[in-house]
Amino acid sequence: MNVDVAVVPAAGRGTRMSPATRVVPKALLPLVDRPALQWVLEEAVAAGARQLIVVVSPGVDDLIFSHFEGMGGLDRIAGLKDVEITWVVQPEPLGLGDAVLRARDAVGGRPFHCLLGDNIMPPGAGCLAAMAAASDGRSVMALRRMTPAETSSYGIASLGDWLADDVVEIEGAVEKPGPDAAPSDLGFLGRYTFTPDVFEHLAGLDPGFGGEIQLTDAIRALAVAGACLGKVVGSAPLDVGNPPSYIEATTILGLAHPPTAERYRAFVASLLDRP
């Protein structure tokens, strides 16, 4: 499937990162030398996206917008020179499903990647390209194996037939089940390649888990219609939504990012050598 549009929900306020996020939105928290959101947009561009639709919350939309507009030209960001960014405001925090639905008009009936703005893929993971390649015309969800302790923090798929070693038909989905209720150990890691029919399902949803409009409920509707595949990917995204994960993300990116890698690697090694 050829996909050149990406939707990036980035409306979260980042309460678990307070007080860092009292003024600065979570999307602009720095990771090494650029904000979290910039890493995600660069991942989408590297996978071929030429239009980026970013969903932000009111009150911080100007701040986020001015980061990307005020850099002395978008060409300062790797690959963004020929890319159009469309900003969409989610008026109220009604849930991830509602945030994605806000992008419907901008997407305009095309297949699209969806990248959660607080999950950063290590550069070079190639997750989105692999998902688009795995599609036979159906939507594809990136999956990773979850431990029993993790299932209550993720959407979990129920599985049908395996079409390849790492591609499976999805028959259902549950948002954040406990380990005993989880239908499998494969969960949604925050990267999705959707056909536009997902918007029909999103538009018909009632509030679900936590009283919010859940993207996972639209995935379940796609799955019930036989229109949903899962692709198991090797890389786990880095979560920047809480302090311990944020520090880990900074470390992993600092060790992988060419401008910092050599010196930072030596620094970390010197710490480990200390008694």
- Cα(216)–Cα(203) distance, integer angstroms: 13
Nearest to 100 by CA among 139, 146, 158: 139
Which lies closer to ligand G1P via its Cβ, residue 79 or residue 179? 179
**What minimum distance in Å lies between the beta carbon of 20 and ligand G1P?**
18
Tell me how far apart the alpha carbons of residues 13 and 81 are, in angstroms, rounded to a whole number.
28
- Select 28 or 218, whichever has its Cβ closest to ligand G1P: 218
Establish if 190 lies at the interface with ligand G1P (CB under 6 A): yes
| 154 part of the interface to ligand G1P, by CB under 6 A | yes
With binding defined as CB under 6 A, does residue 188 bind ligand G1P?
A: yes
Is 187 a binder of ligand G1P (CB under 6 A)?
A: yes
Three-class SS state of 247:
helix
Residue among 209, 173, 4, 191 at smallest CA distance from 100: 191
Residues 94-113 that bind ligand G1P (CB under 6 A): 96
Mark 19-58 with x for binding to ligand G1P (rule: CB under 6 A) and - for no binding: ----------------------------------------
Question: Quick check: 165 and 130 in contact, CB under 8 A?
Answer: no
Does position 116 bind ligand G1P by CB under 6 A? yes
Tell me the closest approach of the beta carbon of residue 215 to ligand G1P, in angstroms.
Answer: 6
Cα distance between residue 272 and residue 247, in whole Å: 17
- Our finding on whether 119 is near ligand G1P (CB under 6 A) is yes
Q: Which two tokens stand for residue 194?
A: 């959707």
Q: Helices in the chain by DSSP H: which ranges?
A: 36-46, 61-69, 96-101, 104-107, 127-134, 198-203, 215-224, 243-256, 258-273
Give burial (CB, 10 Å; 0-12/13-18/19+) of 13.
middle
Q: Does 151 contact ligand G1P by CB under 6 A?
A: no
Number of shown-chain residues binding ligand G1P (CB under 6 A) = 12
Choice from 51, 151, 193, 216 touching ligand G1P (CB under 6 A)? 216
Q: Do residues 139 and 222 make contact, with C-beta atoms less than 8 angstroms apart?
A: yes
Measured at CB, which residue is nearest to ligand G1P? 155
Binding part of the chain for ligand G1P, among 28-36, 62-70, 125-133, 188-196 by CB under 6 A, reads: 188-196
d(C-alpha 229, C-alpha 186), whole Å = 12
Segment lying near ligand G1P (by CB under 6 A), choices 29-37, 76-84, 163-171, 183-191: 183-191
- Candidates 127, 154, 118, 123; CA nearest to 29 is 118
Smallest separation (angstroms) from ligand G1P to the CB of 235: 13
The closest alpha carbon to 51, from 115, 2, 3, 94, belongs to 3
CB of 212 to ligand G1P, least distance (A): 8
Nearer to ligand G1P, 111 or 190 (CB): 190
Residues that bind ligand G1P (CB under 6 A): 96, 116, 119, 154-155, 175, 187-190, 215-216
